[in-house]
Structure 1
Amino acid sequence: MTEPAGHPVPGPAALFDPGAPDLPTAPIGGWRTAIVHSVRHPTPRSVAIRLDVPDRVDHWPGQHYVVRLTAEDGYTASRSYSVASAPADPQLELYVERLEDGEVSSFLADELRPGDPLEIRGPIGGWFVWTGGRPATAVGGGSGVVPFVSMLRHAVDLDRTDLLSLVVAARTLADLPYADELRAAGARIVLSREDRPDRPAGRLSAADLAGVPVAGARCLVCGSAGFAETASRLLVDAGADPAQVRVERFGPSGGPAPLF
Structure 2
Amino acid sequence: MDIIFTAIRGARSGTREALAVSSVWHVAEVVGGIPENATARTIRLRVDGLMGHLAGQHIDVRLTADDGYTAIRSYSVASANADAHLEITVDELPDGEVSPYLVRDLAVGDRLEIRGPVGGWFVWRPNNVNRVQLIGGGSGVVPLMSMIRAHQASNNAAPFRLLYSLKSPDASLYRDELRRLDQESAKLMVDYVYTRSTPEGWPATPARLTSESLLDKIFPAEVNPDVFVCGQTVFVETVADWLVMAGYSPESIRTERFGGTGGIR
Q: Which category of TM-score, normalised to the shorter sequence, fits these structures?
A: 0.7 to 0.9
User: What corresponds to 1:209 in structure 2?
Assistant: 215
For 2:20 and 2:198, locate their aligned partners in 1 and report how far apart those are by CA, in whole Å: 51
Question: Residue 39 of structure 2: which of 37, 42, 45 is its match?
Answer: 45
User: What corresponds to 2:191 in structure 1?
Assistant: 188
Question: Residue 125 of structure 1: which of 110, 119, 127 is its match?
Answer: 119
For 1:244 and 1:3, locate their aligned partners in 2 and report how far apart those are by CA, in whole Å: 38
User: What corresponds to 1:147 in structure 2?
Assistant: 143
For 1:249 and 1:182, locate their aligned partners in 2 and report how far apart those are by CA, in whole Å: 22
Matched, 1:233 2:236: no
Deviation, structure 1 residue 175: 0.6
User: What corresponds to 1:177 in structure 2?
Assistant: 173
Superposed CA offset, 1:189-212 (max 9, x none): 111012352432111222333251
Secondary structure of 1:68's counterpart equals strand
In the alignment of these two chains, the number of paired residues is: 232
The runs of 5 or more residues in structure 1 that have no matched partner are 7-28, 254-258
Superposed CA offset, 1:146-172 (max 9, x none): 001000001100143643221111000
Secondary structure of 2:98's counterpart equals helix
For 1:194 and 1:60, locate their aligned partners in 2 and report how far apart those are by CA, in whole Å: 34
For 1:189, the aligned partner's letter is: Y
TM-score for both structures, normalised by structure 1? 0.82
Matched, 1:243 2:241: no
Task: Check conservation: 1:169, 1:176, Cα contact below 8 A.
Answer: no
User: What corresponds to 2:6 in structure 1?
Assistant: none
For 2:230, the aligned partner's letter is: C
Q: Identify if the C-alpha distance between structure 1 residues 227 and 252 changes in structure 2 by more than 3 Å, giving closer, same or farther.
A: closer
Task: Check conservation: 1:188, 1:208, Cα contact below 8 A.
Answer: no
TM-score for both structures, normalised by structure 2? 0.80
Task: Check conservation: 1:57, 1:123, Cα contact below 8 A.
Answer: no
For 1:232, the aligned partner's letter is: A
User: What corresponds to 1:83 in structure 2?
Assistant: 77
For 1:161 and 1:3, locate their aligned partners in 2 and report how far apart those are by CA, in whole Å: 39
User: What corresponds to 1:166 in structure 2?
Assistant: 162
For 1:190, the aligned partner's letter is: V
**Aligned-residue CA RMSD in angstroms?**
2.5
Matched, 1:219 2:227: yes
Moved more, 146-155 or 203-212: 203-212
Q: Identify if the C-alpha distance between structure 1 residues 208 and 142 changes in structure 2 by more than 3 Å, giving closer, same or farther.
A: same
Q: Identify if the C-alpha distance between structure 1 residues 161 and 167 changes in structure 2 by more than 3 Å, giving closer, same or farther.
A: farther
For 1:163 and 1:5, locate their aligned partners in 2 and report how far apart those are by CA, in whole Å: 38
For 2:244 and 2:139, locate their aligned partners in 1 and report how far apart those are by CA, in whole Å: 23
For 1:213 and 1:30, locate their aligned partners in 2 and report how far apart those are by CA, in whole Å: 42
Moved more, 194-203 or 133-142: 194-203
User: What corresponds to 1:157 in structure 2?
Assistant: 153
For 1:209 and 1:89, locate their aligned partners in 2 and report how far apart those are by CA, in whole Å: 34
Matched, 1:33 2:27: yes
The runs of 5 or more residues in structure 2 that have no matched partner are 1-17, 183-188
Q: Identify if the C-alpha distance between structure 1 residues 99 and 161 changes in structure 2 by more than 3 Å, giving closer, same or farther.
A: farther
1:10-25 alignment to 2 at 5 Å? none
Secondary structure of 2:112's counterpart equals strand
Deviation, structure 1 residue 250: 1.3
Deviation, structure 1 residue 3: 11
For 1:5 and 1:164, locate their aligned partners in 2 and report how far apart those are by CA, in whole Å: 36
Superposed CA offset, 1:90-118 (max 9, x none): 00000001111111101101110000011
For 1:183 and 1:43, locate their aligned partners in 2 and report how far apart those are by CA, in whole Å: 15
